[in-house]
Structure 1
Amino acid sequence: MKALTIGILAHIDAGKTSLTERLLFETGVIDHAGRVDDGDTQTDSLDLERRRGITIKSAVVAVSTPGHRLSLVDTPGHPDFIAEVERAVGVLDGAVLVVSAVEGVQAQTRVLMRTLIRLGIPVLVFVNKIDRTGAREASLLESLRTKLSPRCAPMSTVTDIGTASAQPVPLPFDERLADALAGDDAFLESYVAGAASSMDYRKALARQVAAASVYPVFFGSAVTGAGVADLIAGVYELLPSRERRGDGPLDATVFKIERGRSGEKIAYVRMFSGSLAARRPVPFRRLGMEGVGRPSAVRVFEHGVTPVSGEALAGDVARVWGLPEIQIGDRLGESADLSENRFFAPPSLETLVYPVDPDQTRALYTALTRLSEQDPLISIRRQDQEITVRLYGEVQKEVIRTTLAEEFGIAAEFEESRPLLVERLHGTAYRVRHPAPEQRVFFWATVGLRVEPGPPGSGTDYRMEVELGSLPLSFHTAIEETVHEILREGLHGREVIDCVVTLTDTAFYPPASTAGDFRGMTRLVLQEALREAGTRVYEPIHAFELEAPASAISTVLRKLVELRAVPGEPGITDDRCTVDGHLPAASAHELEQVLPALTRGEGTLVTNFAEYRLRPGGGGPRRVPSSRRGRTTA
């Protein structure tokens, strides 16, 4: 049996969840297609998703047909939940990118397509809503080619587009595909010789799609079902699959974590090779950590949204119980690749969270920590009784607030979101300290640390120049944990990133030394080293691409300069203009808000995190204690 895992991706409101419902209906999984507006879809299972009419968490559903098992991963469309999309993208064999025939290519559509192209993931494009008033074909296809890829190739044309009777008509496999398939040497040889048959075109198209160099475009409607059968046939024929088998070493990835009714941890696992079964020892690894677990239950997605007990084989998606230490991103198997890849930008906003009832501060931290298991990029921090949460946007903040109230019974207040500032080392420093009772340093520990800048994007690298056996393991653990804790605080109350911290000196003094001594001494030494090296405050900078009517370019450029943006040279084509450049993340949201007024509703904006740049003023103020600030409720 062949196995294939695909993701359904789209800009919000393009019809992604509706398409998933229609795919399930057409393949016999359900007897009627649910509607997002009615709150009865299979994949939007959370009450909050049904009420808001948006996908918040990725969901899995499987379809088994003769010879194939197809696992569908429905992902959020709102950019605030892009981290959920990222975790899904990492386990896909292919993707269906949904585009509305009315709204066309939107900002999130471009971000998703660029990522899929960069990762080499095969893509089928499904143009949805051909039955809606205002639906387009020729102009939309041109937009796909200019904004997504010039190698978007239509598989159908549409009759009566923009009406309830709209129907796609499959196009023949003939010369119109020749330009798109020119990169296939075997096809090109037969084409030049004048011997290319319809089957040659089909085979060449499948090869080029699998190589992620051609992107077939299917037209249809998830609501009426028009064109969905052709899309399903395209998925099976064009997207690459693998044999569902259990031989070979275990290699699997954890891409989602959720909690069961009793609070137990449930891991969603994508299998790449080998097999996974209940009560069988499973090694798991992440950077800096290895362990072995024994699953208490393994349930495989076979047909529908409810998995069944069984053995998970290569190509399967399974839910796994009984691994309490497992985290998102963990690899199962001893030979798994541990490289950490970021597909989308990290969060560039943060906010302080307070419980309405101060007695619930500890409960709030515990609840947010539980939520961060499901979304690690939330990155909860606690400092001086303040709790900070990292965010992508305001909708995500509202979802967290509602979840805290409904699932944990905690009413929370959020401060206004602000850019996520960070600190970077300005220089290198080395400090060492020994017990010194005469200086009132009563920590019975010797700790020496060297701090030095790392390259941008390298994160925090903790190293040791001492023998691991020079200290009891608990003392080493105390040092490393304290190093990461102090780096999260920084000198200006911001996290220190892109640095190398090396443990150079250690000694302990039995029986007096304790792990607490090493925590206290590490704090003193590292803070002294950071002050000697110095840190500077950096702000997140976004790259942007803006398209607007040519008549609005002067107004747009003035606003960009006002927002501290650095625009490039505008390009003008016919009655449209484009401009790209960089702007502070703090200004990106304001630009999104004012753009419709500046461009009479015809402007589009795409922003992506680009880098951290030195903040004007350099040092940056230390955060004001919360007692001196006002609070706002999200």
Structure 2
Amino acid sequence: MKLRAHVEPGNPGACRRGKTSLTERLLHTAGAIDAIGSVDDGSTRTDTLALERRRGITIKSAVVSFTLGATRVNLIDTPGHPDFIAEVERVLGVLDGAVLVVSSVEGVQAQTRVLLRTLRRLGIPTLLFANKTDRPGARYDSLLTSIAERLSPHIVAMGSARGLGTRSATTTPFTGADPGFTGALTDLLTRHDDELLSAYVDDPAALTHARLLGALAEQTARCLVHPVFFGSAATGAGIDALVEGVTKLLPPATGDPRAPARGTVFKVDRTANGERTAYVRMAEGTVRAREVLRFRGPDGRESKGRVTAVGVFENGAEVPASAVRAGRIGRLKGLTGIRIGDSIGAERADTGHRHFAPPTLEAVVVPRRTEDRGALHIALGRLADQDPLIAVRRDDLRGEVSLSLYGEVQKEVVRATLAEEFGVDVDFLGTTTICRERPAGPGAAAEFIGTAPNPFLATVGLRVDPAPHGSGVEFRRAVELGSMPPALMRAVEETARATLARGMRGWEVTDCVVTQTHSGYDSVSSTAGDFRGLTPLVLTDALRRAGTRVYEPMHRFRLEAPADLLGALLPVLARLRAEPGPPGTHGRLSTVEGEMPAAGVHELQRLLPGATRGEGVLESSFAGHRPVTGPAPERPRTGHDPLHREEYLLRTVRRVAGRTSPAT
């Protein structure tokens, strides 16, 4: 058995590379379907959402399974557009291999580079498929040059192509009889294998074609090299060679179905009647229908539930099954509390790390009908379940809901989804960049039970210290674990983490260590509510004393534009606070590389077509956060605000039976 993920790049220009069409062609080649579906007609097996079929793009990842000879392939078709990178994010942890699709017409796009860098960093074996050889403008030599320059120099073409740009375009796999191929393969593989190099130096004839292909499979599995296949999903040219590459060059899945169950949830959706279902890639063991299953989240949350039904994927369709075993993907029903990223079984997988940048945009979403406010909250909660990188932020006092986003296309999709699936029409009120806050130094505060102005039956002391960039939030205790009941300890930690969602200027506080320095309670009357009420006041006071700095998201960028227009673009870059390096000129094109704030990237994407006669190309990737220069932007603070103590206490506490207790 093998697991395959089929990942395609995308860009804001929305040109399609044909990855969903390639999935259809592979299903047809395997005999799983009788007729190839069309993206334009909305008849493909993987683009099942009405919105996907109408727009002709993939929005949600989909699973199909088929057999190629003796090899079972589980294929995950993921979105290509960068606004839906969250869908790719959750799939990466369950891959055995990937096929990265590039258009032989449009060439290497920005998102292609981001994806291959990530796949290489994670050590996921990756084949490249240059699609659309039948389309006018299809390239071979220049495309390989571009791939070597912009993706990886460690590539080798696996075949030749003829009749490019016509419906009769064909591809022919190279063999051991092709001296050019043998030479290229030898040169590539000996760069990474000293033993192979020594054998070649001693006797070139020792490197037989079979030995070279074995070394190619071994180095592909180690993500050292990337074979490149040419073809057309539309006509079927080159598909047989790609199939052979998938079965012979990508490594098989491993896992013992008799071992304790272990798997990862990479997708959650709901049935037509609202029942939550989880897509699980099983690494070890077996999950059976009707069994009680334990699962854990990346945050340590543990839960369990009874599996009411199991579905597996066979010949392009989902079918009911009694169990899902190691190496397979299953769809489990009945686990009401399960979330994306959860690990199945006793051993929790390392799924807490993030492969791609978080969203850098935020927009307020409001229902067009006031009476839909409650329905909007429910609908956004369900969308957040299915998309954990897209956070929902509620301000109950202002009656506003903000949604974090990757881009404008995603905003359009969210609007259409809310209308079509939930019957809620919404508007977005502008788009802002999401910043972060970090402590500028250490700060500490404490309030004690029975001592004014503390109205709660709780003692809480907290210290905030800066931590290295990218480290997130760590909570420590400098008090005895037995000094309070565990429930009260948990209340302090959980509330402290929630309070850090709003710093001094309203942004999330990160890269810090919060240490509990004082604790105390009334063994008769104190409740967790006392600690949940007091902790925000103490932590906010500690942050005030520490001070915070606001950091904005930055992107590395590479801008390519006609050389005669570069002079007009440089003032635009300056206005967007970009820091470009010296430009380079290659024929009639000039390139500029540098860094700029994320807000400038989104603005430049909007301006570029008109400023470059439609010839400009912008590549960008997240480069981290840096301190804001000048006045720090502020985000409106939501909910009960501990920065304003009197108002916070009025909203948080009440007098009951002669004592102050937390409000419910």
TM-score using structure 2 length: 0.90
* Distance in 2 separating the partners of 1:357 and 1:597: 36
Partner of 2:322: 310
Give the drift of 1:267: 0.9
Asked whether the equivalents of residues 461 and 518 of structure 2 are also in contact (C-alpha less than 8 Å), the reply is yes
243-252 vs 406-415, which moves further: 243-252
Which of 197, 215, 227 does residue 208 from structure 2 map onto? Answer: 197
What is residue 138 of structure 2 aligned with on the other side? 135
The one-letter code of the counterpart of 2:269 is E
Partner deviation per Cα, 1:586-608 (whole Å, 9 max, x = no partner): 11012112223443333321111
Shift, 1:265, TM fit: 1.6
SS in 2 for 1:376: coil
Preserved CA contact (<8 Å) 2:7 2:80 = no
8 Å CA contact retained: 1:6, 1:70: no
Report the Cα offset of residue 172 of structure 1. 1.8
Contact 2:68 2:243 in 1 (8 A): no
5+ residue gaps, structure 1: 627-634
Shift of 1:117: 1.8
Q: Aligned runs of 1:275-354 on 2, under 5 Å?
A: 275-285=286-296, 286-338=298-350, 340-354=352-366
SS across alignment from 1:97: strand
Equivalent in the alignment of 1:629: none
1:199-231 deviations in whole A, cap 9, x for unaligned?
122112111211111111111111111111111
Match of 1:221 in 2: 232
What's the counterpart of residue 501 of structure 2?
Answer: 488
CA distance in 2, matches of 1:259, 1:489: 32
Report if the CA contact (8 A) 1:95-1:121 is conserved: yes
The one-letter code of the counterpart of 2:571 is R
Cα distance change of structure 1 residues 468 and 283 upon mapping to structure 2, 3 Å threshold: farther
In 2, the alpha carbon distance for the partners of 1:469 and 1:284 equals: 28
Paired residue type of 1:545: R
Mapped contact 2:9–2:82 kept (Cα < 8 A): no
Query: How far apart are residue 374 of structure 1 and its match?
Result: 0.6
Q: Return the offset for 1:551.
A: 3.6
Please name the residue that 1:426 is paired with.
440
Q: Give 1:38-437 correspondences, 5 Å limit.
A: 38-173=41-176, 174-182=182-190, 183-192=192-201, 193-195=203-205, 196-243=207-254, 245-285=256-296, 286-338=298-350, 340-383=352-395, 384=397, 385-436=399-450
Shift in Å, 1:244: 6.0
Which residue of the other structure, out of 16, 19, 24, is the alignment partner of 1:21?
24
Query: Which SS does the other structure have where 2:314 is aligned?
Result: coil
Give the Å deviation of 1:438. 5.3
Q: Tell me, yes or no, if the aligned pair for 1:18 and 1:36 is still in contact at 8 Å.
A: yes
2:654: which partner in 1?
Answer: none
- Out of 574, 581, 584, the residue aligned to residue 571 of structure 1 is 584
Partner Cα distance (1:337, 1:176) in 2: 40
> CA offset at residue 370 of structure 1?
1.3
Residue 129 of structure 1 deviates from its aligned partner by 0.8
**CA displacement at 1:391 relative to structure 2:** 0.3
Bigger mean CA offset, 465-474 vs 419-428: 465-474
CA shift in 2, pair 1:362/1:458, >3 Å: farther
CA contact (8 A) 1:100 1:128 kept: yes
1:423 partner letter: E
CA distance in 1 between partners of 2:468 and 2:158 (Å): 46
Q: Give the Å deviation of 1:148.
A: 1.0
Deviations 1:537-565 (A, max 9, x none): 22111111222334443333332122100
Aligned AA for 1:290? Answer: E
What SS class does the counterpart of residue 417 from structure 1 fall into? strand
CA distance in 1, matches of 2:271, 2:618: 40
**Contact 1:538–1:618 (Cα < 8 Å) also in 2:** no
In the other structure, the counterpart of 2:463 is 450
Q: Which residue is equivalent to 1:607?
A: 620
The change in CA–CA distance for 1:8 and 1:23 in structure 2 (over 3 A counts) is farther
Query: Could you say which residue in structure 2 is the equivalent of 1:630?
Result: none
Q: The residue matched to 1:586 in structure 2 has which SS?
A: helix
CA distance in structure 1 between the aligned counterparts of 2:102 and 2:40, rounded to whole angstroms:
19
Compared CA separation, residues 402 and 469, structure 1 to 2 (3 A): farther
Q: Considering only aligned residues, what root-mean-square deviation do their CA atoms show, in Å?
A: 2.1
Which residue is 2:656 aligned to?
A: none
**C-alpha distance in 2 between matches for 1:103 and 1:484:** 46
| Inter-partner Cα distance in structure 2 for 1:205 and 1:553 | 43
Q: 2:539 — aligned with what?
A: 526
Give the whole-Å Cα distance in 1 for the aligned partners of 2:637 and 2:324.
52
TM, length-normalised to structure 1: 0.94
Contact 2:506/2:637, CA 8 A, preserved across alignment: no
Residue 575 of structure 1 deviates from its aligned partner by 4.1
Is 2:530 aligned against 1:517? Answer: yes
Q: Gaps spanning 5+ residues in structure 2: where? A: 177-181, 640-664
| Structure 1 residues 499 and 359: alpha-carbon distance in aligned structure 2, compared to 1, 3 A threshold | farther
Contact 2:110-2:619 within 8 A present in 1 as well: yes
- Cα distance, 1:584 vs structure 2: 0.7
One-letter amino acid matched to 1:304: G
Per mean C-alpha deviation after superposition, the further-off stretch among 36-45 and 304-313 is 304-313
**C-alpha spacing 1:471/1:357, structure 2 compared with 1 (3 Å):** farther
Is the Cα contact below 8 Å between 1:354 and 1:413 reproduced in 2?
A: yes
In structure 2, relative to structure 1, the CA distance for the partners of 1:623 and 1:585 (3 Å cut) is: same
AA in 1 matched with 2:49: L
Would you say the 8 A contact 1:5–1:315 is kept in 2? no
C-alpha spacing 1:467/1:258, structure 2 compared with 1 (3 Å): farther
* Residues 499 and 260 of structure 1: CA distance in aligned 2, closer, same or farther (over 3 Å): same
CA distance in 2, matches of 1:259, 1:584: 37
Quote the residue 1:5 is aligned against: 4
User: C-alpha separation between the residues in 2 aligned to 1:404 and 1:550?
Assistant: 44
1:144 is displaced (CA, Å) by 1.1
Task: Confirm whether residue 554 of structure 1 aligns to residue 567 of structure 2.
Answer: yes
Distance 1:583 1:157 in 2: 41
Letter matched to residue 50 of structure 1 = R
Give 3-state SS (helix, strand or coil) of 2:318's partner. coil
**What amino acid is the match of 2:349?**
D
**Aligned AA for 2:623?**
A
Shift of 1:436: 4.2
Equivalents in 1 of 2:91, 2:451: separation in Å? 55
Does the 8 Å CA contact 1:548/1:604 hold for their aligned counterparts?
yes
1:462-502 deviation per Cα after TM superposition (whole angstroms, max 9, x unaligned) = 22233444333443343233223321122222211222222
User: Which has the higher mean CA deviation after the structures are superposed, 36-45 or 83-92?
Assistant: 83-92
Counterpart CA distance in 2 for 1:548 and 1:622 is 36
Instruction: Return the alpha-carbon distance in structure 2 between the equivalents of residues 621 and 274 of structure 1.
Output: 50
In 2: Cα distance, 1:358 partner to 1:523 partner: 32
